Amino acid sequence: MKRNVLALAVGLIFGLGLCLSGMYQPSKVLGFDLGGRWDPSLAFVMGGAIAVAAPAFALTRRRRAAWLGGEIDLPKAIAIDAPLVLGALIFGVGWGLAGVCPAPGVVDVGFFSPSAMIFVAAMAIGMLASRLADLRLRSARIATQDA
């Protein structure tokens, strides 16, 4: 229960940050146009976020447990593999097409934007498709290992 309340607060702070920074606005993201009139705001958003998050992640090197109990779960993968590279390539093209990435998409649904609802519905289908593709890949890999 405590964890759900914390997550709700995190979502609110995250969403307000996206609103204040302008990142929820597709035109603001697409304004990071190096070939035309360039609005560097996006770099300031990421810089500000990283500057505040970095000390917290540095702390996780020393402490193992979260405030609400349980382990601090950091990603364990280290390989620069094909899914990482291919996934980032595909994601970047999608991001550049409409100027929306996952969190701002959800925030824009909160503005009752019909365009955002279309985007998020398609994004959900893309996510589920990726899971299915991943499962098939993995079972294919296990099958070849068994053979």
Binding to other proteins (CB under 8 A): which residues in 99-118?
99-111, 113, 115-116, 118
The binding track of 64-103 with respect to other proteins, each residue x by CB under 8 A or -, is: -xxxx-xxxxxx-xxxx--xxxxxxxxxxxxxxxxxxxxx
103 within 8 A of 97, measured Cβ to Cβ: no
The two tokens of residue 58 are 């540095």
Q: Report in angstroms how near the CB of residue 147 gets to other proteins at its nearest.
A: 25
The smaller minimum CB distance to other proteins, of residues 60 and 142, is found at 60
The Cα–Cα gap between 98 and 115 comes to: 10
The binding track of 17-56 with respect to other proteins, each residue x by CB under 8 A or -, is: xxxxxxxxxxxx-xxxxxxxxxxxxx-xxxxxxxxxxxxx
Residue 81 C-beta-side C-alpha neighbours within 13 Å? 4
The two tokens of residue 35 are 């070939």
Told to check if 140 binds other proteins by CB under 8 A, we report: no
Told to check if 12 binds other proteins by CB under 8 A, we report: yes
104 within 8 A of 24, measured Cβ to Cβ: yes
Q: Report in angstroms how near the CB of residue 137 gets to other proteins at its nearest.
A: 10
The two tokens of residue 113 are 């934007």
